[in-house]
Structure 1
Amino acid sequence: MKQKKSVFPVLETKRLKLREVTHEDAADMLNYMSDPEVVRHIGLERFKSLEDAKSEIDWYETIHKEGSGMRWGITLKGEDQLIGSCGFLNRAKKHFRAEIGTELSREYWGTGIASEAFQAVISTGFNHMQLERIEALIEPLNIASQRLAEKHGFVKEGLLRKYEYTQGKFDDLYMYSLLKEEWG
């Protein structure tokens, strides 16, 4: 018996449509994920091929299917070009928590788009996914992401020393969190 695929929710904001990412988006994803500035603080190597993008898209599908996350593609309303993504990973249903993450094409930095997407995803997490805690793990040098988290009410809880091993090195990460009762 074939397992029924769960419906992927589409989120809309004033300027954005957040939707499922598919292999048709691979070229758009390669465009921004091949930029060393975009991937600098997210623990991934710069994408070099469509296969790199397709592999990332496959991971988005896997975490959605297994319930450990959900990643929305960010598009401008009325356009279908993928300009970034935002969503949850490392979801622990038993503990009602998940980690939030985002990346955005450099062309759109400083426009409020990341903030608008972040707000929509946080709202969905608390209102539709029964999350009680949303975490953000942010590299100390990633000032823009720290500001984004703080703008949305996240509290810096502390420094996780040598928490991740990515790209041949150990990374320290700040742990930020937002609780449902603090949000809104």
Structure 2
Amino acid sequence: MKQVHTRFPVMETERLQLRKIEVQDAENMLTYLQDPDVMEYYGLPPFVSAEQVLDEIAWYNKIFTQQTGIRWGITLKDEDKIIGSLGFLNWVPMHHRVDIGYELNQEYWGKGIASEALQAVLAYGFETMELERVQALIEPANLASIHLVEKHGFLREGLLRNYEYGNGKFDDLLMYAILKKDFLASSK
């Protein structure tokens, strides 16, 4: 497998810094990972302890080290406080394909932060990681997430019935995807 990143890439946008999530970020992360509204479509119940957050951070480090994904912490430029995260997982370099996921502290919903971060991460994926396809699996009831990806040019490709099991139930997921050529055309 081609190794794309040996050092964690830090990115800046107009209002945000996207950086590696560290152990010292656990307390800020617990603030939103324990929120039932934030976790409604995460596939896990709301977190109840710092230990759960530390396990999540360890997983982020593992996928980066193993080159199967990368997860950035979202911070406002003037505050070095994690308010959410987003990134790639299930990277298949041979097929130039990856899944994307994200969550954001409810306090920052509706302010264009997820959109700004998503644009930067997609650019990194298509330009640096040489991706051809980025896909998002979204529960049909998650209208905010559907709106976000559609705004960025993702197309709905179908419904995956009972695709995931989480929180004691099977969930249908919508498959959305954006191709490199679509991203480049929309970025002009």
- Alignment TM-score, normalising by the size of structure 2: 0.94
| Root mean square deviation of aligned Cα | 0.9
**Which amino acid is 2:77 matched to?**
K
CA distance in 1, matches of 2:45, 2:95: 31
Q: What residue is the counterpart of 2:137 in the other structure?
A: 137
Distance 1:24 1:8 in 2: 17
What's the CA shift for 1:45?
A: 1.4
1:32 aligns with 2:32: yes
Residue number in structure 1 paired with 2:157: 157
Distance 1:67 1:39 in 2: 26
Counterpart code for 1:118: L
Q: Secondary structure at the match of 1:57?
A: helix
CA deviation digits over 1:123-149, x for unaligned, max 9?
Answer: 000000110000000000000000000
Instruction: Give the residue type in structure 2 aligned to 1:11.
Output: M
**Residue 45 of structure 1 aligns to a residue in which SS?**
coil
After TM superposition, give the deviation of residue 115 of structure 1 in Å. Answer: 0.3
Which residue is equivalent to 1:172? 172
Amino acid in structure 1 at the alignment position of 2:158:
G
Give the aligned partner of residue 53 of structure 1: 53
Q: CA deviation at 1:6?
A: 2.2
CA distance in 1, matches of 2:42, 2:179: 23
Aligned partner of residue 38 in structure 2, secondary structure: helix
Count of residues paired in the alignment:
180
Measured in 2, the distance between the counterparts of 1:167 and 1:93 equals 31
Gapped runs of 5+ residues in structure 1?
none
How far the C-alpha of 1:42 sits from its partner, in A, is 1.3
If the length of structure 1 is used for normalisation, what is the TM-score? 0.96
* Separation (CA, whole Å) in 1 of partners of 2:6 and 2:45: 30
Deviations 1:96-133 (CA, angstroms, capped at 9, x unpaired): 01001110000000000000000000000000011000
Q: Deviation of residue 168 (structure 1)?
A: 1.3
Task: State how 1:1-184 maps to structure 2 within 5 Å.
Answer: 6-183=6-183, 184=187
SS at 1:170 equivalent: strand
Runs of 4 or more, structure 1, over 3 Å off, are none
